[in-house]
Amino acid sequence: MTRSSPLLLQAFYGISSPWAYFGAERSKAVADAAGAELVLRPIRIIEANGGIPLRNRPDSRQQYHAVELDRWRRFLNIPLNLKPKFYPCRTIEPAAQAVIAAQRAGLDAFAFSFAIQRGLWAEDRDIADLDTLREFARATIGEGGAELVRDPQPQDIRDEWLGNLAEAERRGIFGTPTYVVGDELFWGQDRLDFVERALAAASLRETA
């Protein structure tokens, strides 16, 4: 039998999250290998479900956060500055909403999103700056993509941005990245092995 519905991997993530940056390329590879569509759902911190900005956490947690980032950047061999010049970001909304706009336009939103993440964490770029975002867009999705970088965005883009957060709250998501296969939640880039298995199982069910 053929698949009755598209196989989806939804990624709820903060575009400024270092953990989402670490998991980005592998999540795309996992989705591609499974024949699944990777749906990007940028969100902000989910305070309703217990999310706490890093700068508001106790010093001991902030210090351990840096230790873990260093471990993972070396383990994954992914470039990351432990103290990026423009983090915490002044705002993430223009970047996140531009990714939403690119995805709605059928452009390569993943490439654009990853350029933003890499820019923040490995290149000391200011992802709150519209001209910087347009530069990333031109390099990944072309001039038409650069024209989608706006502040404010059209209402439908803002509505999707807010809708992503509402959906994350409804599903019980509390941290990012959280990957969703069907109704299963997988919190953290270190859960991608389980995401891979869940996609394989879902594919078998769909084609049985």
Per-residue pLDDT of the chain (208 residues; tens, 9 = 90+): 345 568 999 999 999 999 999 999 999 999 999 999 999 999 998 776 656 666 656 677 778 889 999 999 999 999 999 999 999 999 999 999 999 999 999 999 999 999 999 999 999 999 999 999 999 999 999 999 999 999 999 999 999 999 999 999 999 999 999 999 999 999 999 999 999 999 999 988 776 5
pTM above 0.75, yes or no: yes
The reply to whether 203 belongs to the active site is no
Residue 146 is encoded by which pair of tokens?
């650069």
φ/ψ region of 88 (left if φ > 0, alpha if ψ in -120 to 50, else beta) reads: beta
Compute the distance between CA of residue 27 and CA of residue 38 in angstroms, rounded to an integer: 8
Catalytic: which of 16, 17, 27, 113?
Answer: 17
Q: What is the CATH number of domain 8-207?
A: 3.40.30.10
Compute the distance between CA of residue 108 and CA of residue 190 in angstroms, rounded to an integer: 25
